[in-house]
């Protein structure tokens, strides 16, 4: 027999966990809220006396709802819009402060969300539930409709894709490139024109993606001054990322992914910057989270 007050109390006890888990799987706060709400509807229609482990039951239900949502998204070829989170879900912060945005993106692992977006639904569920929320593969298998061995393989495959190729991150040359890109992004955010010029080759070329409407009329920009003017005071949402094993950046102001930037670096200067905004092209890139 369901007691409404008891059900509400039980559900609220697990709400934050369910919202966090749904967000990690879906990458969207609004969709995560929908998934949690659907789990409440299913709970309210269930004979709770038959539920032995309420937390486990709700985790399973939310996971299955998320899996269905991912499959619908894939079948409709919907693009994943990366929303802000990993702040407390009841936070009143509106994200208008660039420094706050930077903290959010760094804490969430925006790059990981982007890579997760390239996984198929079953891989994504298996990885998130096992590697982030520590569910066993015996618990995950029935959620995704596979056996335990297949669930383990899916998580392993997802893990390899997320970790990306192990580039020579400890090499001096790699560190210098990372520092150069960091300096470029910092100068761009602060609007420091002189520091932008310092990291750009005098003949640097910026190749912009016409798929990003504001730049459709001028897809190629040449020369350090012209490129620096274009970036000065911008890239507030830009974060460093590995693109095909090389250092790049994802530009995501207020958590909404706009495009990625690939850098070509020669002799300590940025000689080429390529913007990629077309989602089909982004999906073909090997993106990986990059730790300091």
Q: Which band of pLDDT confidence, cut at 50, 70 and 90, is reported for residue 70?
A: confident
Buried b (16+ CB within 10 A) or exposed e, 145-159: ebeeebbbebbebbe
**Rounded to two decimals, what is the model's pTM?**
0.54
**Residue 45: CA count within 13 A, CB half-sphere:** 7
Q: What is the pLDDT of residues 174-209, one digit of tens each?
A: 888 889 999 999 999 999 999 999 999 999 999 988
Q: Is 76 helix (H, G, I), strand (E, B) or coil?
A: coil
Mean pLDDT computed over 83-100: 37
> Above 90 in pLDDT, residue 225?
yes
275 bridge partner residues: 261
């Amino acid at each position: 027999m369901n007691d409404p007050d008891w059900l509400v109390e039980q559900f609220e006890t697990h709400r934050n966990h369910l919202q966090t888990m749904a967000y990690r799987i879906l990458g969207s706060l609004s969709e995560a809220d929908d998934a949690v709400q659907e789990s409440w509807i299913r709970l309210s229609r269930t004979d709770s006396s038959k539920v032995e482990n309420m937390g486990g039951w709700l985790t399973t239900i939310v996971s299955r709802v998320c899996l269905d949502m991912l499959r619908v998204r894939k079948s409709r070829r919907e693009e994943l819009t990366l929303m802000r989170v990993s702040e407390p879900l009841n936070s009143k912060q509106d994200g208008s402060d660039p420094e706050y945005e930077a903290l959010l993106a760094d804490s969430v692992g925006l790059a990981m969300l982007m890579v997760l977006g390239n996984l198929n639904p079953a891989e994504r569920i298996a990885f998130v539930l096992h590697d982030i929320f520590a569910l066993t593969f015996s618990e995950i298998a029935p959620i995704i409709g596979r056996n335990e061995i297949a669930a383990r393989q899916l998580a392993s495959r997802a893990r390899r894709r997320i970790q990306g190729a192990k580039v020579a991150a400890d090499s001096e040359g790699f560190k210098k490139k990372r520092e150069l890109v960091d300096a470029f992004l910092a100068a761009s955010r602060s609007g420091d024109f002189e520091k932008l010029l310092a990291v750009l080759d005098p003949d640097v070329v910026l190749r912009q993606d016409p798929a990003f409407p504001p730049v459709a009329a001028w897809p190629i920009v040449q020369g350090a001054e012209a490129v620096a003017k274009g970036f000065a005071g911008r890239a507030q949402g830009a974060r460093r990322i590995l693109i095909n094993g090389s250092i790049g950046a994802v530009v995501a102001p207020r958590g909404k992914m706009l495009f990625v930037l690939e850098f070509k670096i020669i002799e300590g200067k940025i000689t080429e910057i390529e913007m990629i905004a077309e989602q089909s092209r982004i999906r073909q890139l090997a993106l990986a989270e990059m730790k300091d």
